[in-house]
C-alpha cells in the first residue's frame, strides 16, 4: 500500500524548507496530522503554525509530538538532506524503526500514477515551474503544483488539485487521478530521479552541486537519466544551452522541443520582436505549435522571457488558446525573491530602487545583474551577496567574482553554511580577491544596515543569495523608504 495514503501522522525533519513546507501543506489539506522540526523560526514556519501545523525548534526527542512517539506504525517521517547526521530526533526515529523517507521519495509517491509536468535545471526551475502552474490555473485547467518558491499569484508554494466534487461541478472530463501535477524537479542529491514525467522541461545543465556529483559529467549523466524516465509519448522541452547529450537520452517516441531567445541560437521555439518598456517585456512566441503574438510579461529580464517560452509551450500542449496565453502571461507576477521589487522610490528620487533575488549560481547572478543594468543604465549599483555553501564557493569563486563585477560596488557577507561544515581556506575572501568592481568589501549584517542609512553613493540596491540574507530585506526596506520617501515601510 502507498504509505502516503496509509499513515495518519506525518512528521517533517526540516519542515521550514520551501519544498518540505509544500508537502506539509498537502498532507494537512488531505486530513493528516502534520508536525515538524526546524532549526529556526522563519516567516514560513510561522505561517505553517498559523495553518494548524505544530512546529518546534529544539532538537530533542521530548519535543516530538506525543502522537508521533506513540504511533510508530502509523507515522511517516519526511527528511530533508539539510538535516545534520548528528541530529538527535533523526537518530531516535531511526533507532525506533520509523518509516523515514526523503522529500524526493515522497514527492515521487504523490505523483505516481498522475500526469506529471516536471521542471528541472540547475537554475530557472522555480520561476519556470511557477509560470507553468500559473498559466494552467489562470486558464481554468484543473491542476496541482508543488513549487520551490512562493508564487506571488497563488500566495503559496502549493496549488491543491480540485476535489472530485469540484471537478463534477465544473463539468470537467478529468478525474482526480487525471489532474496534471506541476513539480519542481531538484537535481540535488539526484532527487529528481524519483519522478516519471509526462512533460519535462530542462532549463539548464550548468555545473553545480559538485559536492554531490564530483564533476560536471556526472551531473549531466543525472540529467540524462531524468530525461530517460519521461513516459512514452511524452515531451521534452529543452533549453538550447543544455548539454547536447541530454536530448539523446529521451526515449523513442518522446518529442523534443528546444527553446531559446532567438532563432539564431538554433531552437525551434523562440521569441521575436522583444521590447522592454519599464519593467515590462513584450514579445511574440514562435514555435512548432504556432505563433502567439503580443505576450506582455511584467516580470523583467531576458532570462524570464526565455523561461516563459518553455512554460507557454506547456500551455500549448494543454490546448490553451493564444488569447488564454496572452491573458495569463500578462497576469503573472513572479515568485518571491526572484527579481522581486522591494522598494521603488517616489518622484524625489527617480531611478532609485531596491531589488531582492535568490540567485546563488554565477550564471544566475550574471543574468540578474545584466537585466538590472538594462533597466537602470548609468545608475550606481550596489550588490550585497551572501555566498551559499563552502563547496559552491570553492568550486565557483572565479565565476562568482566575474558576475558580481558587473556592479559598481560589491558587498559580501560571510558564507551561509546550510548543511556543510567549514572548509579550510574557503571564505568570502576567496571571491572578494578576484572581484574587479570599483568598490568591494566584506561586511557584517550591522555594517550593511548602517551603511544603507549613511552612505548615499548608490541608486540601485540588490540583495542576492539563497541563505538567510532574506532576513535583512525588511530592515533594509525600512531604512531606504525613510531615506528615499521619508516614510516608514
Q: Among 102, 126, 156, which residue terminates a domain?
A: 102
68 with 93: CB under 8 angstroms?
A: no
Residue at 353 is within a domain: yes
Residue at 107 is within a domain: no
Helix (H) or strand (E) holding 34: strand 33-37
Same domain for 83 and 136? Answer: no
Same domain for 374 and 421? Answer: yes
User: Sign of torsion, CA 103 104 105 107?
Assistant: positive
* DSSP secondary structure code for residue 265 in this structure: G
Is 286 strand, coil or helix? strand
Known binding residues? 121-127
**Read out DSSP for 296-311?**
EESS--HHHHHHHHHH
pLDDT of residue 216: 78
What residues pair up with 384 in beta bridges, in sequence order? 411, 463
Start-to-end CA distance of the chain, whole Å, equals 52
Ranges of the chain whose pLDDT falls below 50 = 489
**Residue whose grid cell is 529521451:** 250
* DSSP secondary structure code for residue 283 in this structure: E
pLDDT of residue 6: 73
What residues pair up with 356 in beta bridges, in sequence order? 340, 463
Q: Which domain holds residue 411?
A: 340-485
The DSSP bridge pattern shows strands 269-277 and 460-464 to be unpaired
pLDDT of residue 191: 83
**What is the spatial distance between Cα 326 and Cα 414, in angstroms, rounded to a whole number?**
43
Q: Among 57, 79, 102, which residue terminates a domain?
A: 102
275 with 283: CB under 8 angstroms?
A: yes
CATH number at residue 363: 3.90.190.20
Same domain for 326 and 177? Answer: yes
Rounded to 5 degrees, what are φ and ψ at 68?
Answer: -75, -45
Same domain for 327 and 417? Answer: no
Rounded to 5 degrees, what are φ and ψ at 127?
Answer: -60, -45
Give me the sheet containing 54-56, strands edge to edge. Answer: 54-56, 33-37, 9-13, 75-79, 99-102
Burial class of residue 223 in the structure, from the number of CB atoms within 10 Å of its CB (0-12 exposed, 13-18 middle, 19+ buried): buried
Show the cell assigned to 11: 512528521
Helix (H) or strand (E) holding 356: strand 353-357
Residue at 108 is within a domain: no
pTM of the model: 0.85
Considering its fold, how many domains does the chain have in total?
A: 3
Q: Please count the other Cβ atoms lying within 10 Å of the Cβ belonging to residue 244.
A: 12
**What is the spatial distance between Cα 36 and Cα 396, in angstroms, rounded to a whole number?**
34
CATH number at residue 144: 3.40.1190.10
Residue at 472 is within a domain: yes
What residues pair up with 460 in beta bridges, in sequence order? 353, 381
CATH number at residue 30: 3.40.50.720
Q: Among 102, 124, 158, which residue terminates a domain?
A: 102
Same domain for 352 and 288? Answer: no
Residue at 357 is within a domain: yes
Same domain for 184 and 297? Answer: yes
371 with 301: CB under 8 angstroms?
A: yes
Same domain for 118 and 228? Answer: yes
Same domain for 349 and 302? Answer: no
Show the cell assigned to 21: 513546507
Known binding residues for ATP? 121-127
Same domain for 239 and 155? Answer: yes
Which stretches of 293-444 are DSSP H helices?
Answer: 302-317, 322-331, 362-375, 390-404, 429-432
Residue at 301 is within a domain: yes
Same domain for 295 and 203? Answer: yes
Same domain for 98 and 117? Answer: no
Residue at 440 is within a domain: yes
Residue at 434 is within a domain: yes
Same domain for 288 and 369? Answer: no
Amino acid at each position: 500500500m502507498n504509505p502516503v495514503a496509509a499513515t495518519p501522522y506525518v512528521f517533517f525533519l526540516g519542515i521550514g524548507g520551501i519544498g518540505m513546507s509544500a508537502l506539509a501543506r498537502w498532507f494537512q489539506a488531505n486530513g493528516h496530522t502534520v508536525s515538524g522540526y526546524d532549526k529556526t523560526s522563519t516567516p514560513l514556519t510561522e505561517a505553517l503554525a498559523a495553518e494548524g501545523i505544530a512546529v518546534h525548534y529544539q532538537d530533542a526527542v521530548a519535543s516530538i509530538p506525543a502522537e508521533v512517539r506513540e504511533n510508530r506504525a502509523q507515522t511517516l517521517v519526511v527528511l530533508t538532506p539539510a538535516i545534520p547526521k548528528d541530529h538527535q530526533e533523526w537518530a531516535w526515529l531511526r533507532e525506533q524503526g520509523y518509516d523515514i523517507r526523503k522529500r524526493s521519495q515522497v514527492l515521487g509517491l504523490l505523483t505516481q500514477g498522475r500526469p506529471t509536468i516536471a521542471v528541472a535545471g540547475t537554475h530557472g526551475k522555480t520561476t519556470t515551474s511557477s509560470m507553468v502552474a500559473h498559466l494552467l490555473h489562470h486558464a481554468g485547467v484543473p491542476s496541482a503544483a508543488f513549487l520551490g518558491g512562493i508564487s506571488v499569484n497563488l500566495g503559496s508554494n502549493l496549488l491543491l488539485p480540485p476535489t472530485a466534487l469540484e471537478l463534477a461541478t465544473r463539468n470537467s472530463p478529468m478525474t482526480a487521478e487525471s489532474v496534471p501535477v506541476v513539480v519542481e524537479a531538484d537535481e540535488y542529491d539526484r532527487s529528481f530521479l524519483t519522478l516519471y514525467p509526462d512533460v519535462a522541461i530542462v532549463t539548464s545543465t550548468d555545473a553545480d552541486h559538485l559536492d554531490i556529483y564530483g564533476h560536471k559529467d556526472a551531473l549531466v549523466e543525472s540529467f540524462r537519466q531524468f530525461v530517460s524516465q519521461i513516459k512514452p509519448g511524452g515531451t521534452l522541452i529543452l533549453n538550447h544551452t543544455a548539454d547536447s547529450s541530454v536530448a539523446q537520452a529521451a526515449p523513442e517516441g518522446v518529442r523534443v522541443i528546444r527553446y531559446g531567445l532567438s532563432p539564431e541560437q538554433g531552437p525551434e521555439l523562440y521569441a521575436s520582436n522583444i521590447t522592454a518598456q519599464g519593467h515590462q517585456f513584450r514579445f511574440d512566441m514562435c514555435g512548432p505549435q504556432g505563433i502567439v503574438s503580443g505576450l506582455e510579461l511584467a516580470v523583467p529580464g531576458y532570462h524570464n522571457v526565455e523561461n516563459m517560452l518553455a512554460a507557454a509551450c506547456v500551455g500549448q500542449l494543454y490546448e490553451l488558446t493564444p488569447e488564454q496565453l496572452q491573458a495569463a502571461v500578462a497576469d503573472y507576477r513572479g515568485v518571491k525573491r526572484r527579481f522581486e521589487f522591494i522598494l521603488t522610490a517616489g518622484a524625489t528620487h527617480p531611478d532609485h530602487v531596491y531589488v531582492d533575488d535568490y540567485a546563488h549560481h554565477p550564471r544566475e547572478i550574471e543574468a540578474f545583474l545584466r537585466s538590472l543594468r538594462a533597466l537602470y543604465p548609468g545608475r550606481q549599483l550596489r550588490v550585497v551577496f551572501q555566498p551559499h555553501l563552502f563547496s559552491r564557493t570553492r568550486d565557483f569563486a572565479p565565476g562568482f567574482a566575474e558576475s558580481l563585477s558587473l556592479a559598481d560596488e560589491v558587498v559580501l557577507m560571510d558564507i551561509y553554511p546550510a548543511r556543510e561544515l567549514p572548509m579550510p581556506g574557503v571564505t568570502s575572501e576567496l571571491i572578494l580577491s578576484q572581484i574587479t568592481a570599483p568598490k568591494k568589501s566584506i561586511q557584517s549584517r550591522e555594517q550593511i544596515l548602517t551603511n544603507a542609512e549613511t552612505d548615499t553613493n548608490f541608486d540601485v540596491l540588490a540583495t542576492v543569495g539563497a541563505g538567510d540574507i532574506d532576513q535583512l530585506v525588511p530592515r533594509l526596506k525600512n531604512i531606504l523608504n525613510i531615506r528615499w520617501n521619508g516614510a516608514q515601510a
